[in-house]
Structure 1
Amino acid sequence: MPVIDLSLPRVEATLGGAFEASGIGLHTGRVSRLKALPAPEGHGVRFVRATKRGPAEVPALWPNRRSRPLCTALQVGDGPLVRTVEHLLAALSALAIDNARIELDGEEVPILDGSAAPWCDRILAVGRAEQAAPRRYLKVRKRVAYAEKAHRLRIDPAERFELEVAITLSHFGQLKWIGRPTPDAFPRELAPSRSFGRLKWALPAKILGVFLRFGEPVLRGASPENVVALYGAGAIGGLRMPDEPVRHRALDLVGDLALAGHPLLGRVFASRPGHDPNFGLLSALMRDPEATELATVGEDGALRRA
C-alpha cells in the first residue's frame, strides 16, 4: 500500500479520481452501490442518495447527525437517511481528503469487511489532488468535556490531532490506544480494525434483526465476514491485533469527529467512547463559541487565525 506523507496540509484536497464499492449493509442487510467522486474547493464531504424524487444531498456535518443503533447516520430534515458512514468518513478524514461527492443508491454505506482498510485502499489507489483554497482547521482553544454514565470524553488544546482511547472488556481487561491518526499511521494502526461484539449478545441481536422486520434495522447484514465475534479472551476466527477492539473504537471516533466539517486540532481523551458519546463531545464543542477558532497553515508551517 502506498503511503501519503503529510504533516498539516496548507491547502484543501479532493480525490485524485473516482472509485466504487458495493456490498451489504451491516444493519439493513441490503446491498448498496457507492461511487466516490472528486469535488470542488469548499464542497466538503457530501453524500448524495438516489431516491424516487431524484438525488438528495446529505452533507457530512454534525447538525445532520441522527442517533441510530450501533452506527452513525445522517439526515437533512425529513429527507432520506444515510446510515453507517463512520468508517468511510474516518478514512477520508485521516487521509486528508476535504472535498468528495459520495453517491449512494441505498440507505446504508457498504460495511465491506467491517473495517476502514478497504476505504483506505481505494482512496490511496486514486490518490489525493491538492486544490488552491487554504485548508481551514478547527483549533481547540479550551477544554471541553462530556460525561454520561460510564462514558467520559474530553478534548484539550493541542497543535495536532491526537487521541488517547481506553475501553475495558471482560477477559481482556483495559485496552488503550494512544497516537495520532495521520495519513501514515491510520492505514496501518487503526484502519484494519473491525467492528466487534460479544458473541453472547451479537447472536440474539442478529436473530432479532433478521426476523423482526419492523422498527430500526439492527445487524441484519452482520456475518463473520464483517463483524468480529468476541468469545472469552479471543475472537472466533482470531483478531488482527491483540488490542483490535480499542483500535476500532478509535477508528469510529475519528469518523464521528469528522462531522465537525474541518480537521480538528486538539487532544482527545476518551474512556468508553461510542457513537452517541462521541457526538455528545462534538456537539458540546461545536455549540461553545469560545471553544474553537478557525486557523490556517502559513508557508512556514505555523498556524494562524483564519
Structure 2
Amino acid sequence: MRFPIHLNALRAFEASARYKSFSAAAEELNVTPAAVGQLVRSLEDWLGAPLFHRMKSGKVRLVPTETAEIALPDIRAGFDRLVIGLERLQESSASGVLTVSISPAFAAKWLLPRLERFQNICPNTDVRLDTSLKPVDFAVQRVDVGVRYGLGNWPGLTSEKLMDEEVYPVCAPNFLHKRGHFHHPDDLVKETLIHDLSMDSFTGFPTWSEWFKKAGIIEKVSTHNIQINNSAAVLQSTIDGNGIALARSVMVRDDLAAGRLIRLFPEIDYKSPLAYYIVYLPELAEVSKVIAFKDWLFTESESV
C-alpha cells in the first residue's frame, strides 16, 4: 500500500495537535517550528481543508478542527501499532523471545512439566510466560501465541483447537482408603465436594450439579463444600485429602498417571462443551517461532 502523504507529515500533525503548538511539536520531533508548519500545510494542501484553527493571543495557539479531532484517534492508534511492529522486529532478530499467554493453572498443571522438551528442540528460543488472569491484548502486550479455554471465538485472534476435555470426580488414594469404596455416585453426596470457581465465567462448563444429573441423581448436592478459584489449587487440595473434586481431564492427567489422584466412576462419560485452543494474531501465522511452538503443542497433546 502506498501512503499518499509522507509519515513525517502525519507525525507533525499529531504532535502539533497534542501540544497545540508548532514550537512544542518541533522540540519533540527535533526539527524547526517552520519545518513542522510546512509539513502540516502540505497535509492540509493534500486534503484541501485546514486541520487547525490558528488562534492568536500573544502566541499562536493551534486548535484542531472537528475533522482533525475525529481522525486523530485512528492516526495515534496507527503510530502505536507501528511502534509495536518495530519492537517485534527487534525482538525477533535480537533475542528470539517467544511470549506465551496462558492461565496460571494451565501453566502449572500442563505446560511447565513439558516445556523442557520444547526448549530441547528449539534451544535458541527463549520462552516468556504471561500467566495473568486478566484479559490480554495480544497486540499491545506483544504476545506471540497463547492457549485459551472456551468455545474457540476470540475477536481479532486466529484459533486452532488443541484439546477437548472431560470432567470427572477424583480423590486422593488415602481419602478413598479411609472412606472405603464408593459403590454408587450418590455416595458422593455425603462427602465434601471441592468446587472450581475459576470456571464460573465460562457459560456451559459442567458443575457438580450437572455431573450428578448426568449420573442420574436429582437430589440436593452435598452441603459440605470447599470453593476455590484456581484449578491447580483445586487439585492440590484434593491431593491433600480435603475432599473430592470435579476435575478437568487435561489438568489432572499427570496427577492420575503419578497415582496422586484416583478417578471415580470412569463409566460416566461427561465431555465439556469447552476446549483448549491455540490462539495468535493472524499476522503472526507465518512467524517461524510461532509455527514451531504450535507444532510442539499439537505433538504433546497427541502423545498423551
Q: TM-score, normalised by structure 2?
A: 0.24
Q: TM-score, normalised by structure 1?
A: 0.24
More helix by share: 2
Query: Which protein is bigger by CA-based radius of gyration?
Result: 2
More strand by share: 1
